[in-house]
Amino acid sequence: MSASLDALQAQYCPPLDPALVLALAYDYNINDPASRRQLCQLLDRLRDEAEQQEASDFDPSGTSNQRDSSSSDTQDTSWDTSTVLSSTITSLDLQSSEGSSVSIIDEIEEQDKTTKLAQMHEIFGDRLSLYSIKYALGKSNWQWVKALEELMNHAYFAEAAGQDRVAAKGIDGFAEDQIVPRTGKKNGKNKKKKKKTDESESPERSLPSPTSPTNKWHLSAQNVEFITSRTNLSTEKVTSAYYAHGASVRKTLIALVSSAVSENRSDSEDEDPVVLVHAMELGTKFPSIPLSQRTALARMTLPSLLSAKELAEIITNANSETIEPIIAQYAPLKFDSPMQDHETIKPCGFIGREQAFAAAREVAFAQVENIRRRARSDKLMKGAVAYYSNLGREFAKLSQAAAIAAVNERAAAQSTPGQVDLHGIDVANAVRIAKEQAEKWWRGLGEERIYGRAARNAGFRIIVGRGIHSKNGKAKIGPAVMKALRAEGWRVEDEHGVLVVSRKGER
């Protein structure tokens, strides 16, 4: 049988690939004259097609007519990939109608982007991800053949090296973690010392720490993803700041916070009340961070207070570096009328904070009226009037923010990832929370919004109740929430006190 295979390869190679001839020969019994005749007829047709392609300067294999004479004597470890892809390309021309001057490749090149992506995914679906296929097509300006050549190389390397291995490029290939260490008796003590040092070092709790030798580019991508997943900043902005500050997570966070402070120097009255509450919460645990930077950090991580605390812990981790010099703040003047210090109020939870801020607001406004009477005879008191007026307005905003935070806390406590319970919440906040949670659920689906029909159809459940305990037994929250969601294009169904949001469609 080996002599017969050599004879077939000598007869049809070139222009055919020896691997293709070998693969087709295994599908036939070449010792049988009838089966051998059918194989020769198929090889004749393939040879004619190959000669036509060479005459038109078209090389579907991507090798540019550079063949290795010793390839017929070597078994390729990736025989499955190269054979299947080569057979797929060749069979495309075999399926075209006879006498047609336009090949199937030309027809594919004239198709739209969606069709090209679907056909390419059909070939590489079990080897490469949809994102890699789409990226290769876009990089090649949606030229199907050019993208096919690149994806064949990716498929080969993925099978040869494994999906989880990231190949080191450039100078990183000579890095210490890419070099195999020498083994010998002299390195015994050094190994013990190195092992002891590695065990004594404890990486930070939140940052990704590689447990095995990892490519530096892969580690940088993990650090960037760590920051972007906890903030509302774009990946491009975080990446630029990360590499501009020596690939340091802490320096990157300090730069981003400082940039946010300089970009948002607006009046505190325009600030989100929830941001102010989170900034005060950060101040109790991280007093070394100035208020302006705590506010910027809370704004970057809104609405997650846990993410803000996590990033603030990284920022304050190094004792030798400081974010900003501490600015002394002097206590205000004391007048005849006593004023209760708002910092001595120790509320319990957001509801306690709301009451404490409201009480401090009333005390501040009362102090304003007291000082305003004295300002009629003493013009210097006008500055004190302005000070306590601003202080009263600030406490009013903090009281409102604490009320909103208390409602959010209650909704979060009685909710699950697939549903939110709005019992005990007023209509305005119920509408706001329902819209926010529905949008969060829709964004969390990711690609399942297109391919995950089961997850999408399961929907997001909003428990609004049937209004039994409402005035006159008529529901108020349910109709208001349904009207608001449908106004924004959501598909909502009422199931006796539970609203099921299935998807976001046309209004």
What would the pLDDT profile of 364-398 be if each residue is shown by its tens digit? 777 778 888 877 777 777 777 787 788 778 878 88
pLDDT at 452: 55
pLDDT at 75: 43
pLDDT for residue 10 is more than 70: yes
* Average of per-residue pLDDT across 4-15: 76
* Average of per-residue pLDDT across 34-53: 81
pLDDT at 274: 72
Buried b (16+ CB within 10 A) or exposed e, 343-380: eeeeeeebbebbbbbbbbbebbbebbebbeeebeeeee
Express as a percent the part of the chain with pLDDT over 70: 65
Name the pLDDT band for 335 (thresholds 50, 70, 90): very low
Instruction: Count Cβ atoms within 10 A of the Cβ of residue 106 and give its class: 0-12 exposed, 13-18 middle, 19 or more buried.
Output: middle
pLDDT for residue 421 is more than 60: yes
Express as a percent the part of the chain with pLDDT over 90: 2
**Cα separation of 191 and 221, whole Å?**
30
Q: Which residues, 6 or more positions from 372, have their beta carbon under 8 angstroms from its beta carbon?
A: 381, 385
| Structural element, H or E, at residue 256 | helix 249-263
Are 233 and 259 within 8 A, CB to CB?
no
pLDDT at 65: 47
pLDDT at 59: 54
CATH number of 414-504: 3.30.1370.110
Query: Between residues 447 and 314, which one has the greater pLDDT?
Result: 314
Name the pLDDT band for 36 (thresholds 50, 70, 90): confident
pLDDT at 373: 80
Give CA separation, 448 vs 4, 65, 455, 505, in Å. 53, 44, 7, 15
> Strand, helix or coil at 426?
coil
Where in the chain are the domains?
Answer: 2-65+76-161, 216-315, 342-410, 414-504
**How many Å separate Cα 330 from the centre of its chain?**
44
pLDDT at 227: 92
pTM for this prediction: 0.32
Name the pLDDT band for 2 (thresholds 50, 70, 90): low
Asked which of 46-60, 272-286, 487-501 is least confident by mean pLDDT, the reply is 46-60
